[in-house]
């Protein structure tokens, strides 16, 4: 409620609450109020509870490129949901997150959690840096959701290897992968 009613004091107080859901909500309230800063997010990123670390990572995109180092660290969080949120935020930062391309490439190929791999591939596509293309192409052979995301992530790229991957995707077992490739080719 504090974020909707403009109560900065209550929102700030929530950061120290014993309940992790309150700490997470306090981060959102501060963001809503325009009082979220990198110091607050840095402290939340070190919270013992994954839900708080995840919320901190999600909100980093609102703070801009200054949060890229924090997000790069969050990519190796032991909790996959935190790493996935960091991928999302890096993707939202787009070209401003180019320093994280190598880290995202590693996540896209090495993460045990397919949602992390999918989010990393999406971020690589959103960043559109040529250094991420090989990882996106490799992801076109992953699980269906990752393949689908990889095909979409090819949108900012061109070249014969991209054309070949899109042609292969037209015959994929998953209809959504096929549809994504068709959409890109038309």
Considering the domain 37-185 in this protein, what is its CATH number? 1.25.10.10
Domain ranges in the chain are 37-185
Residues 6+ apart with CB under 8 A from 183: none
Rounded Cα–Cα distance for residues 24 and 30 (Å) = 10
With H, G, I as helix, E, B as strand and everything else as coil, classify residue 35: coil
Angle of the 114-127 helix axis to the 144-153 helix axis, nearest 10? 0
Task: Please report, in tens digits, the pLDDT of each residue of the chain (186 residues total).
Answer: 656 666 577 788 889 999 999 999 999 999 988 999 999 999 999 999 999 999 999 999 999 999 999 999 999 999 999 999 999 999 999 999 999 999 999 999 999 999 999 999 999 999 999 999 999 999 999 999 999 999 999 999 999 999 999 999 999 999 999 999 999 998
pTM: 0.92
């Amino acid at each position: 409620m504090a974020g909707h009613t403009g109560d900065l004091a209550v929102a700030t107080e929530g950061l120290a609450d014993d309940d992790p859901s309150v700490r997470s909500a306090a981060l959102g309230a501060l963001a809503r109020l325009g009082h979220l800063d990198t110091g607050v997010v840095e402290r939340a990123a070190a919270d013992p509870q994954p839900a708080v670390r995840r919320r901190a990572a999600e909100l980093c995109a609102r703070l801009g490129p200054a949060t890229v180092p924090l997000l790069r660290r969050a990519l190796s969080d032991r909790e996959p949901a935190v790493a996935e949120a960091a991928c999302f935020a890096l993707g939202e930062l787009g070209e401003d997150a180019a320093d994280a391309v190598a880290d995202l490439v590693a996540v896209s190929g090495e993460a045990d959690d397919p949602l992390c791999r999918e989010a990393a591939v999406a971020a690589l596509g959103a960043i559109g840096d040529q250094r991420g293309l090989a990882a996106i192409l490799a992801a076109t052979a992953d699980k269906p959701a990752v393949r689908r995301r990889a095909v979409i992530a090819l949108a900012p790229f061109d070249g014969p290897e991209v054309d070949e991957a899109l042609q292969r995707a037209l015959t994929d077992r998953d209809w959504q992968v096929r549809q994504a490739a068709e959409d890109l080719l038309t």
